[in-house]
Structure 1
Amino acid sequence: MRTYAIGDIHGHLDKLEAAHSLIAADRAENGDREAPVVHIGDLVDRGPDSCGVIDYLLRGIAGRAPWVVLKGNHDRMFANFLVDPDSHDPGLREGLHWTDPRLGGGTTLASYGVAGTGERLLFDLHEEAVAAVPEAHVAFLGGLNLHFQRGAALFVHAGIRPGIPVERQAEDDLLWIRRDFLDDPRDHGMLVVHGHTPVDAPCHYGNRLNIDTGAGYGKPLTAVVIEGHQVWHLTEGGRVPILPPA
Structure 2
Amino acid sequence: MIVIEREVIDLQTVKRLLVMSDIHGQIDAFNALLDKVKYKMEEDLLFLLGDYVDRGQNPRSCIQKARELEAQGAIPLKGNHEDMMEKALAGENLQALSHWASNGGTQTLASYGLLFEDIYHSIRDGSLSLPDQLLDDLQWIQKLNVYAETEHYFFVHAGVDPQKAINETDDQTFLWIRSPFFDGYHGDKTVIFGHTPTMNLHDTNDVYFGTNNIIGIDGGCVFGGQLNCLELPSKVIYSV
**Coarse TM-score class (shorter-chain normalised):** 0.7 to 0.9
Q: 1:169 to 1:88 in 2, by over 3 A?
A: farther
**Which of 193, 202, 205 is the equivalent residue of 2:207?**
202
Q: 1:123 to 1:132 in 2, by over 3 A?
A: farther
Q: 1:168 to 1:35 in 2, by over 3 A?
A: farther
**TM-score calculated relative to the size of structure 2:** 0.81
Hey, what's the Cα distance between the residues in 1 that align with 2:206 and 2:239? 12
Hey, what's the Cα distance between the residues in 2 that align with 1:164 and 1:140? 28
**TM-score calculated relative to the size of structure 1:** 0.80
Size of the aligned set, in residue pairs, is 217
Write the letter of the residue equivalent to 1:232: V
**Residues 31-42 of structure 1 correspond to what in structure 2 (within 5 A)?**
33-42=42-51
Q: CA deviation at 1:15?
A: 1.1
Cα deviations by residue, 1:59-83 (Å, 9 ceiling, x for unpaired): 2333xx2201010010011112112
Q: What residue in structure 1 maps to residue 34 of structure 2? A: 20
Q: CA deviation at 1:133?
A: 4.0
Hey, what's the Cα distance between the residues in 1 that align with 2:113 and 2:132? 7
Matched, 1:86 2:85: no
**Which of 75, 97, 100 is the equivalent residue of 1:98?**
100
Stretches of structure 1 lacking an aligned partner (at least 5 in a row)? 90-94, 237-246
Q: What residue in structure 1 maps to residue 12 of structure 2? A: none
**Residues 12-161 of structure 1 correspond to what in structure 2 (within 5 A)?**
12-24=26-38, 33-62=42-71, 65-86=72-93, 88=95, 97-100=99-102, 103-115=103-115, 117=116, 119-120=117-118, 122-124=120-122, 130-131=130-131, 133-161=133-161
Higher percent of residues as helix: 2
Q: 1:187 to 1:104 in 2, by over 3 A?
A: same
Q: What residue in structure 2 maps to residue 92 of structure 1? A: none
Query: What SS is found at the alignment partner of 2:162?
Result: coil
Q: 1:139 to 1:86 in 2, by over 3 A?
A: closer
Q: What residue in structure 1 maps to residue 188 of structure 2? A: 189
8 A contact 1:109–1:129 mirrored in 2? no
Query: What SS is found at the alignment partner of 1:97?
Result: helix
Q: CA deviation at 1:120?
A: 5.0
Query: What SS is found at the alignment partner of 2:206?
Result: coil
Write the letter of the residue equivalent to 2:220: G
8 A contact 2:18–2:231 mirrored in 1? yes
CA RMSD after TM alignment = 2.4
Q: 1:150 to 1:87 in 2, by over 3 A?
A: farther
